[in-house]
Structure 1
Amino acid sequence: MSTPPFHQEARRIGELQRTQQQDEFRRALRALLMRPLMSPEHADFPAVRRQAERLREWFAREAGWPLHVDREGARLFKRPADLSDPTRGLPGYDRRRYVLLCLACAVLERADPQITLKLLGDRIMQQATDPALAARGFTFTLRTASERRELVAVCRTLLEHGVLERVAGEEANFVHESSWQHSDALYDVHRRLLAGMLAAVRGPSTWRTEDAPLDTESRLQSLVAELRVDSEQGHRDALRHHLARQLLDDPVLYTASLKADAQAYFINQRGTMAGRLCEAAGLVAEQRAEGLALVDENGQLTDVAMPAEGTEAHATLLVAEYLAQRLRQTGEPTLITEAEVADFLRNAVGRYGRYWRKSARAPGAERELAGLTLDRLHRLSLIVRDTDGLHPLPAIARFSLGQTEVRARNSDTLSLLESLT
C-alpha cells in the first residue's frame, strides 16, 4: 500500500520543523557560549527564549552550568574549570581595571534607575577611599586622562553587556583634559543584567568577616564551590562536568594535564563526550594521543583566531611553524627562550617584512613582536611559559605553513595569504 500524498507532505513538513528546531537550538547554544550574559537586544536572544527549556537541560546535564532566561535577559553561569588560568578575562583588563569594574557595579547596585558618567565616577572615587583598598595602594581620582580613560573603558564594558544603556551624551570627550569637565553621558541601569555580572554560586557579601577566606585562591574557590552528591554517580557527574567545561571553553585539553581519576574517565569517555558536545554545538573533534580539541571550523567561537589578518597574526603563524619544527626535531617538549624567537622574527623581516606594518620592521621591534606572538600562542594552549622560557606543546604540530601565495589587490598593494596544511 502506498503512502497517501498528504501523509508524505506532513512527514516532510515534520522533518523540516525538526531540522529548523535543531538549527535554532545550536545557534542559541553557540550564542550563549560566546555571550553568557545576554541582553534582550542581542540578535539571538529570541532563539534563546524559545529554546530556553532545552538549553537549561543541556547545559545542566553536560557542563553543570545553570541557565536563567526571562524577558529581561539571559545568564549562563559559565564557570571555568581552571580558576587560575591567566589567559582568561576581558580584553585590555588588568587587576586595577577589574577593581574599577567591581566598584562600578557596587555603585550601580545602589543607584537610581538612571545615572550619569560623572556621577558614576564621583561615587567610584568615594568607594576607592576604603581603607582596605588604600592599604593595597589602590587610588582613583579622575584627575588624570589615564584614570578617566579607565572609567570610560569600564562603562563601555557595561554598555556592551547590556548593564548600561546610553540615553544621551558620549564618553569619548570625557577623557580629554580640555573638555572632560563639560562632557557627560546619561545611562539607564538594567538591574536584571547587573545582578548577573558575577557568575558565583555564593556572593562574597554573604560571608561574615570572621569566616571569610583570606587568600585569593581560597576566595575564588569559595565563590564557585558547588554542592555535589557524595556518591559514585555524583563523582562521575562532577568529572564529566569538569571535562566538558574544559572542552567547551579551552582550545585544547591535554590528557597529561588531568588528575589521575579525571584522566582515566577522559580516556574511556572522550569519544562519547566529544560526539555529544560536537553534535549540539556544531564543532569538530580532533582526537590525538596527547588529548582532544573541539574545533569550530568557521572560527566564530574562537577568542584568538589563527590564522588571521594583521602583522601579529602573521608573525604568530610563522613562530608556530618555527616552534613546531623544533618540537619535531627533538620529539619532546624542549626549552626555547624568548630571545631565540625574537632572533627568528628579526631574520624573517627580510622575507616577510614588506607585508608587516612599518613599526614591526624597525630595529629592536622583534622583541615586542615576539612577546605578542607568544602571548597569542599561550592563550591558544600551544605553548607553556615560565620564567626560563617556553615549551611548545603537542598541538602546535598541527600548524604548518603551506605554499605562500601572493595576490595583487591593486598596483600598489599586495596581500600575503598563508594556507594551513
Structure 2
Amino acid sequence: MTPEEETARRRTALRALLTKPLLTVENDADRLALVRQHIAELRDWLTRETGWRLLADAETARLFKTVPDGDDATRPARGRAGEPFGRHRYVVLCLALAVLERADAQTTLGRLAEGVLNSAAEPELDFAFTLDSRAERADLVAVVRMLLEWGVLRRVAGDEDAYLSATGDVLYDVRRHVMATLLVTARGPSTIGATSFEERLAQLVAEPVADTESLRNQAIRRRLTRRLLEDPVVYYDDLDEAERAYLVSQRHAIVRRVEEATGLVAEIRAEGIAMVDPDDELTDVRMPEQRTDGHVTLLVAEHLSTRSAQDGVALEELRAFVRQAATKHASFWRKGVTDPGAEDGLLAVALEKLTALRLVEVREERVHGLPAIARYALDTPVIRGQ
C-alpha cells in the first residue's frame, strides 16, 4: 500500500469517528476494523489536537467528544423519522439507562417499561410518565431504538411495533460494556458536591485550568480545533480575546492540520472560518437540499442575505414571503403548502436548519442573518454570448 493510500484510509477512519463517535462491530464492522488498524495514529492526533480520548477494542470504538457549547440546542437527538427529542423523551432516555444499569444480562421491553415507570414515580423526581397512551409508549420505543442504534441493546426476539400496538413484547441483550462508554464528562459524577442542576452540569464538563503559558496555548488550540470540527462556522466575534488572538496568529497551521487529517476544506472570510466537506458527509444538516423543505430553506436564506443583518426581518414578513413562494411553486412542492397556516410549519423548518448552520439568529420575533449567509446571495444574472 502506498503512503497516499495509507493516508486516505487513516483519514476515512477519522471521518468515521467524527460522524459516529460510537462504532460497534454489529453496525459498523468495516469502519471499526479501519479504526483499529490506525488506532495509534488516530489516538495521537486526537489527543494532541483536540484532547479527546479514543478507546477501541474488538467490539467497539468510542471517541469521547465534548461539545464546544453546552447551551447549543441545534443538535438534538432524533428519532427514526427525524423528529427531535424533547425534554420528556430525554428524561425517559436517562431513566431507561439507569434501569438497564441494574438489569440482568437480558431484559424485555415490558420489564424496561416497568422499571422506567417505577423510577418516574420517585417523589424527588417529580416526572409525570405513564404508558396509558400510544404517544407515551412511542417515547419509550424511540428511546429503545436509539439504544439499539448505539449498540447498548441487541434485539433477540420480537419487534417494537408490536409493543407499541400493545400486541407483543421484545427480548434484548443488555451490553453493559457499550453502555459504560456513553457518559462523556471531565470528572466522575460522584465527585461533584454541587446540588443544583446547573452547577452540577458545569462541574461535569469543566476542564482543568492551565497554569503555564504552554499549557494555556495548548488548551486554546484544542478548543479551536474542536470548534472547527464540530461547528458549521466559527465566527471571530464568538471567541474570547485570547482565542481570537491565537486563531489569527496560528490560523494557517491549525487549518492545515485539520485539512490534512480530515479532508475538510477551509472557507476563510473576514468574519470567521468554515470547514467545508466536499463529500457532504460530516454534517447533520445539509444545504442546499432537495424537496419542499430544502427549497423553502434556500429561498429564505436568499431572501435574508439581501437584508440588513442589524435590523433583521420580522417573522411575519417571512411568513408572508413563504406564503407567496408556496403559491408560486405549488405545482412542484408537496400537497397542502398553500393551506391556511401551512407557512408556519414551512418557515419553522427553514429557520431550524438555518439556525443549526449558524446562518441566522432569531431574536425577539425578528430573524437576523449572520455573516456566512452572504454566500447565498444572488447577483443580477448576466447572459454572455448567444
Give the drift of 1:88: 2.2
Give the drift of 1:215: 3.8
Give the drift of 1:336: 1.3
Contact 1:213 1:222 in 2 (8 A): no
Contact 1:64 1:241 in 2 (8 A): yes
AA partner of residue 376 (structure 2): F
Matches within 5 A, 1:154-165: 154-165=143-154
Which position in structure 2 is the counterpart of 1:335? 312
CA–CA distance in structure 2, aligned partners of residues 228 and 280 of structure 1: 28
Which position in structure 1 is the counterpart of 2:55? 68
Which position in structure 1 is the counterpart of 2:384? none
CA–CA distance in structure 1, aligned partners of residues 337 and 200 of structure 2: 41
Which position in structure 2 is the counterpart of 1:128? 120
Which position in structure 2 is the counterpart of 1:81? 68
**1:20 aligned onto 2:5:** yes
**1:304 aligned onto 2:285:** yes
**1:54 aligned onto 2:41:** yes
AA partner of residue 151 (structure 1): L
Give the drift of 1:141: 1.8
Which position in structure 2 is the counterpart of 1:322? 303
Which position in structure 2 is the counterpart of 1:115? 107
Greater radius of gyration (CA): 1
Contact 1:97 1:154 in 2 (8 A): yes
Contact 2:327 2:338 in 1 (8 A): no
AA partner of residue 160 (structure 1): E
Matches within 5 A, 1:220-235: 220-235=201-216
Contact 1:334 1:392 in 2 (8 A): no
Query: Secondary structure of the equivalent of 1:239?
Result: helix
Matches within 5 A, 1:198-237: 198-207=183-192, 211-216=193-198, 218-237=199-218
Contact 1:338 1:371 in 2 (8 A): no
Contact 1:304 1:380 in 2 (8 A): yes
AA partner of residue 111 (structure 1): A
CA–CA distance in structure 1, aligned partners of residues 117 and 380 of structure 2: 56
AA partner of residue 137 (structure 2): R
Contact 1:159 1:166 in 2 (8 A): yes
**1:295 aligned onto 2:276:** yes
Q: Deviations over 1:103-129 (max 9, x none)?
A: 111111111111111010001111111
CA–CA distance in structure 2, aligned partners of residues 370 and 304 of structure 1: 16
Q: Deviations over 1:62-84 (max 9, x none)?
A: 11111111123111110011111
Matches within 5 A, 1:118-197: 118-134=110-126, 138-176=127-165, 180=166, 182-197=167-182
Which position in structure 1 is the counterpart of 2:81? none
Alpha carbons of structure 1 residues 239 and 175: separation in structure 2 relative to 1, 3 Å: same
**1:388 aligned onto 2:365:** yes
Give % identity: 45
Q: Deviations over 1:51-106 (max 9, x none)?
A: 11111111111111111111231111100111111112212211111111111111
Q: Deviations over 1:167-188 (max 9, x none)?
A: 1100012222xxx1x4111111
Q: 2:97 aligns with which of 101, 105, 111?
A: 105
Which position in structure 2 is the counterpart of 1:33? 18
Which position in structure 1 is the counterpart of 2:356? 379
Contact 1:333 1:393 in 2 (8 A): no
Give TM-score, length-normalised by structure 1.
Answer: 0.86
CA–CA distance in structure 2, aligned partners of residues 221 and 167 of structure 1: 39
Give TM-score, length-normalised by structure 2.
Answer: 0.93
AA partner of residue 236 (structure 2): T
Q: Deviations over 1:339-395 (max 9, x none)?
A: 111111111123222111112221221122111111110000000112232210010
Which position in structure 2 is the counterpart of 1:94? 86
CA–CA distance in structure 1, aligned partners of residues 159 and 229 of structure 2: 37
AA partner of residue 134 (structure 2): A
Contact 1:202 1:224 in 2 (8 A): yes
Runs of 5+ in structure 2 lacking a partner?
Answer: 79-83, 382-386
Alpha carbons of structure 1 residues 305 and 400: separation in structure 2 relative to 1, 3 Å: same
CA–CA distance in structure 1, aligned partners of residues 124 and 380 of structure 2: 58
Contact 1:339 1:367 in 2 (8 A): no
Contact 2:13 2:34 in 1 (8 A): yes
Give the drift of 1:131: 1.6
Runs of 5+ in structure 1 lacking a partner?
Answer: 1-15, 405-421
AA partner of residue 263 (structure 1): R
Q: Deviations over 1:255-280 (max 9, x none)?
A: 01111111111111122211110111
Alpha carbons of structure 1 residues 140 and 205: separation in structure 2 relative to 1, 3 Å: farther
Aligned residues, how many? Answer: 374
> How large is the Cα RMSD of the aligned pairs?
1.7
Q: Deviations over 1:223-250 (max 9, x none)?
A: 1222343100111111111111111001
Query: Secondary structure of the equivalent of 1:44?
Result: helix
CA–CA distance in structure 2, aligned partners of residues 359 and 198 of structure 1: 43
